[in-house]
Structures are given as C-alpha cells and as structure tokens.
Amino acid sequence: MGYKISLDDMNLALEELSKDYMIYAPKVFEGEGKFSDTDLIRYGEVEGLEEIVFDEKSDYSFKEALTPISEVLFYFTEDEIKEADKPDRGALIFLRSCDLHSLKRLDEIYLNNGYEDYYYKRLRENTKFILMGCQKSFENCFCVSMGTNKIDSYDSYIKLEGDTVYIDNKCEDLDKVFRKADIQEVDVKPDFVEENDIKVSIPDNLSLDVMDAKMWEEYASRCIACGRCNFVCPTCTCFTMQDVYYTDNGKVGERRRVWASCHVDGYTDMAGGHSYRKDNGQRMRFKTLHKVYDYNKRFGYHMCTGCGRCDDICPEYISFSNCVNRLEDAMKEVE
C-alpha cells in the first residue's frame, strides 16, 4: 500500500510508535569518525526522520539492535541465577536492502543452526524493519554481485523527499499509525541500485585447498588483526562469553556475551595453551571463505551481502572484494 504524508505527520507517527518501539536508524555521531574531525554514522535511537542519514552508508550495521555488542544473559549470586530482563519495548529498525538480506543470515545462525537462541529470538520477534532506498551505489558496495540489491520482505519502505514522506507499507500495525495522518494514496516503489562500480566473482571451483595459495602471505603482512571488519560486518555473529563480578560484592556478578572476531588473537585459544590460525593471513582466509564459500556449502546461499563496510573501515586499506576476486587465480595456483 503506497501513500505519502508530510514530514510533520511522519514525526508524529514516530512519536506514537516510540511508545512501543525503540526506533533505531543510522545517525551522525559528531567527531567520532575514524580520522580526526570526521563524523561517524552508526545506529542509535532517533526521534525524528530528519535525524536519519539517508544519503550516506552507515559505518556500522543495524545488527547491534538484535545482537548487542555486550549482552547480559543472566545475573548470579551465590545461590541463584536470574535471567536478564528483555527490553520493555520492541524495535523499529531503518535499514537498506543489503542489511535486510543480512537479517536472513543472522536468523539462520541464531534461530536455525542447531538450537534456537533465546535472547536473539525475544528481541527479533518484537522487531519491525523499515527499508531505506538506495538512489545510488555507495563506495565499495557490491550488492548487485551478491544479489542483495533488491528485497521485498520489509514491513515498510520509507523515503524522505523534502518535506514529504513516501511510504510503501506492508504492515498492519504500522498502517494503523500512519493512517492517523492525512494520507494521500500514491504508487511508491523502493529505490534499488542496479549496478555497482565494484563487481565480484566467486569461482565455482572454490575449495578449502585455496588455503595453500600464496595470496594469504600478503594479508599476513598487511592485516593487523584488529577485527574492525568483523565488527562492521552485518553478518558476523560470533561472540565470546564473559563473566564479570561486582567489585563491592565479589559473590555477585553477571554473565555476558560480547562480540568476538576471528581476526583477533585469542579467538581459537583453548585451555592448556593450544590455538589455531596464528597467522593473520590464514585468519583472512578463514573469514573470506566463511563469507563466500563454506556458509554457502552449509546453508545454500552466500553469507556476504556486499555492503562493503569491511573495505570502508580497514585501517590497512585491505579490500575484501578484491580478495574475493583473487580467488580464481589462487585456485588455479593450487589445483
């Protein structure tokens, strides 16, 4: 159902929705960018539509709304364990097509791969997704190659043009709220990009044998194992358990899970001191193959959604898309 409403009415609708939902969208965090005097665009709660950054890519993805960077699972005392409460409101998340495709990857791991994740599910089932269009491809994007440039499984599509908001709505709950405004029915189709400057091709014959190719040696000398690529990735889901206890009462504390990175030291450390993939190049190989090879082998579609944030964030200017495009030659080398 397509319609248009005024920005003021839209903000009134958001105000009403904020009683039941935390409204997450990409917004500007001044001065927090990766270089001095630059801004950072990441997800945070917004009150009005004009706060949302529509015309630039966010440095971080929406995933922290569903998989918090640090999430308390339960509190413990000497005798008792108490499950952490869930937020008292659901979430309304503004995101682009590639990120909405990423949601399917998060669901796959947290809901379908083995056991169902209790904490993810209780956030997920109270979340609605609002699609933001892409009028142009941003730097480093390769969504078209990954087939994630278009999507129709959104609750609502929202586009801001001057003081007018165009909506393509598919959600009854949202429809009730939007209709309180003076709406005018129009045909609204989301903006999707059809082409990116960057294209990737994943060789059909890709196999684990590629781990023996020489290309990883280069990454061994360039990658500094900072893990930023994992943290900006909308599809990276790994976490590590962390117990903390309170300094004023050492018998009371909490167990959390915190984001983990397969690039960062310690990821494979076992009790007794053994660890795997000490070489940063092989860590790059492990991540790359997960994104464009072994996840597909397990679940039938690629994990990477081509958002290009890993390329945007890397302090060593390592390009993931370029790495993927080198796999074909690397396979020739090892075959």
Partner 1 sequence: MGKNEYIPFKSEIKEVIKHTDIEYTFRMTYEGDVKPGQFFEVSIPKYGEAPISVSGIGDGTVDLTIRRVGKVTNEIFEHYVGDTMLLRGPYGNGFDLDLYKGKEIIVIAGGTGLSPVKGIVDYFHANPDEANSFTLIAGFKSVNDIIFKDDIERWKENMNVVITVDKDADKTCKLGLVTAHIPDLVIKNIENTVAIVVGPQIMMDCSVEELFQLGVIEENIWISQERKMCCGIGKCGHCKIDDVYICLDGPVFNYTKGKLLRD
Query: Residue 102 CB: number of other CB atoms within 10 A?
Result: 25
Restricting to residues 135-154, which ones interact with partner 1 according to CB under 8 A?
none
Nearby residues of 53 by Cβ (< 8 Å), 6 or more positions away: 25, 26, 27, 28, 41
Task: Name the minimum Å distance from CB 140 to partner 1.
Answer: 24
Chain centroid offset of residue 196 CA: 20
User: Residue 322 corresponds to which tokens in the numbers above?
Assistant: 């370029």
Cα angle, residue 321 at apex, residues 293 and 257 outer, rounded to 5°: 65
With CB under 8 A as the contact rule, the residue among 233, 260, 304, 314 that binds partner 1 is: 260
Check residue 271 for interaction with partner 1 (CB under 8 A).
yes
Residue placing its CB nearer to partner 1 in the complex, 18 or 207: 207
Nearest-angstrom CA–CA distance, 52 and 296:
33
User: Residue 258 corresponds to which tokens in the numbers above?
Assistant: 């915190």
Would you call 94 exposed, middle or buried from its count of C-beta atoms within 10 A (0-12, 13-18, 19+)? buried
Residue range at the interface with partner 1 (CB under 8 A); choices 161-169, 214-222, 289-297, 306-314: 289-297
Binding mask 73-112 for partner 1 (x = CB under 8 A): xx-x----x-x-------------------------xx--
Task: Name the minimum Å distance from CB 240 to partner 1.
Answer: 5
Check residue 290 for interaction with partner 1 (CB under 8 A).
yes
Summarize as ranges the residues that interact with partner 1 (CB under 8 A): 73-74, 76, 81, 83, 109-110, 113-119, 121-122, 208, 211, 237-243, 245, 250, 253, 255, 257, 260, 262, 267-273, 275-277, 286, 289-290, 294-295, 297-298
